[in-house]
Amino acid sequence: MNDFAASRDRFPALSRLVDGRPAVYLDGPGGTQVPDSVIAAISGYLRAGGSNHDGPFVTSQYSDEITEEARKAMADLFNASEPAEIAFGQNMTSLTLSVSRAISHTWRSGDEVVVTRLDHDANVWPWVIAAREQDVTVRFADFDPATGVLSPDAVRAVITDRTRLVAVSHASNALGSIVDVAEVTAAAHEVGALAYVDAVHYTPHGIVDVQAVDADFLVASAYKFFGPHTGVLYGKRQWLESIEAVKIRPAPADPPGKWETGTQSFESLAGVTAAVDYLASLGTGSGRREALESGMGAIATYEQGLSARFLAGVAETPGIGLFGVPSPDGRTPTFAVSVAGVAPDEVAAMLGAIGIFVWSGHYYAVEVMTRLGVIDDGGLVRIGFVHYTTPEDVDLVIDALAAIADGRPVAGINPAV
């Protein structure tokens, strides 16, 4: 397994102690920590002094430069054809709500929209709301609850010649399942529908390629891939130009500006570029995209090793239930588990007390938890690894879960420094 120990030194937050115990960040699916270069980029913009964009003076021009550099960085990360296909917003949810309203104005009564039950609610409910407003039918594509897998055939089965849009997740933020989005987008395009891809959970774990999957739109959030709280939207230029955005009158008439609601957080955009450059620094290549492919490949290999370690440990631990893909293949290192006889919130609280950070509940994957039949029982416990997770972190959480399942105290599991 590749060693990312040197990378850990670049994350100041990893030095945090909880009652004298080292913090173990296994909450990455809800947001990752950031490296020192991202912190420096954000504070550097603020120290230099920036102004609102599009002004005839140097500090405004500085903000324009920061914005363009962020577009270039995200175009490289997503493999977009050009930086003008990248727009920014407060987060993925706000971007999707705005885009869904704009796209829905092209629908007519009797049209249909397909969403999947594997998705985060930010790529479900905006489309449901928009469909209701336009008298459009929503059709759900189901995943296999036994494996957590959404097959392209399941999506294809609910697509009809009336389908105008298919919303799909690149990977489940709840179960970690990776979806063959290229097959899904192909199915959408066969009937002339648009494909809207939620890559929020996938982006920290694999290389995104909007051209290879032929996405019409793709969204992510920088705070999930070691950056600040900023949402990112990719759209094919033809759609960004032809679809009328929901915007105020003084906003730009052309893309990508017409898709960006109000003034952006320029300091955050500086952090976005730094986050992409950090990921590129983990690989090698003649350009940033090539380095990103190399770096993300190394991350995927390392995380697969962590997944294998966790899955082997859980399989040997009585009382721990695993939901989703039971092997390291076809998934991200994000795991939904239950502990027999203990509510998910209690498990998360007990782990948090000894400095192990995990999430509990539905984590906005409402359809997933409903389909698994656990939403009324408080959902599940979510444990997520990223490349700054160590094998020792994996062992710690397995030992702690085993103790909780056995009814033993967890106090000594994560010893004080």
- Is there a single domain that holds both residue 243 and residue 230? yes
Q: Is residue 285 part of a domain?
A: no
Residue 301 has pLDDT above 70, yes or no: yes
Residue 94 has pLDDT above 90, yes or no: yes
Average pLDDT over residues 288-300: 97
Residue 405 contacts residue 319 (beta carbons within 8 Å) = yes
Give pLDDT, residue 294: 97
Distance CA 136, CA 163 (A): 10
Give 152's contacts (C-beta < 8 A, 6+ positions apart).
Answer: 179, 180, 183, 184, 187
What pLDDT digit, counting tens, does each position of 46-90 carry?
999 999 999 999 999 999 999 999 999 999 999 999 999 999 999
Write down the H helix ranges in 316-406. Answer: 344-353, 366-372, 391-406
pLDDT at 408 over 70: yes
DSSP H or E segment with residue 20 = none
399 has pLDDT over 70? yes
Same domain, 118 and 254: yes
- Cβ proximity of 23 and 50 under 8 Å: no
State how many domains the chain has.
Answer: 2
Does the residue 413 lie in any domain? no
Give the pairing type, strands 217-221 and 231-235. Answer: antiparallel
Residues 270 and 337 in one domain: no
pLDDT at 362: 97
Q: State the pLDDT confidence band at 3, using cuts at 50, 70 and 90.
A: low
Per-residue pLDDT, averaged over 276-288, amounts to 97
29 and 59 co-located in one domain: no
Average pLDDT over residues 262-268: 96
Note the pLDDT of residue 90.
95
257 has a pLDDT exceeding 70: yes
For residue 351, list its beta bridge partners.
none
Confidence at residue 1, expressed as pLDDT on a 0 to 100 scale: 42
Convert the pLDDT of each residue in 363-389 to its tens digit: 999 999 999 999 999 999 999 999 999
- Indicate whether 262 pLDDT > 70: yes
Note whether 26 and 230 are within 8 A (CB). Answer: no
In a domain, 328, yes or no: yes
Give the rounded percent of residues in the chain with a pLDDT score beyond 70: 99
Same domain, 197 and 305: no
Could you report the per-residue pLDDT of 138-161, keeping only the tens digit for each?
Answer: 999 999 999 999 999 999 999 999
**Partner residues linked to 360 by β-bridges:** 381
Residue 160 lies in a domain: yes
The single-letter code of the amino acid at 197 is V
User: Whole domain around residue 21: which residue ranges?
Assistant: 5-34+300-406
Q: What is the mean pLDDT of the chain?
A: 97
| Tens-place pLDDT, residues 187-219 | 999 999 999 999 999 999 999 999 999 999 999
Least confident of 50-54, 235-239, 288-292, 304-308: 50-54
Distance CA 208, CA 203 (A): 6
Place of tokens 């055939």: 153
Categorize the per-residue pLDDT at 4 as very low, low, confident or very high, splitting at 50, 70 and 90. confident
Which two three-digit tokens encode residue 62?
A: 């500085």
Residue 202 placed within a domain: yes
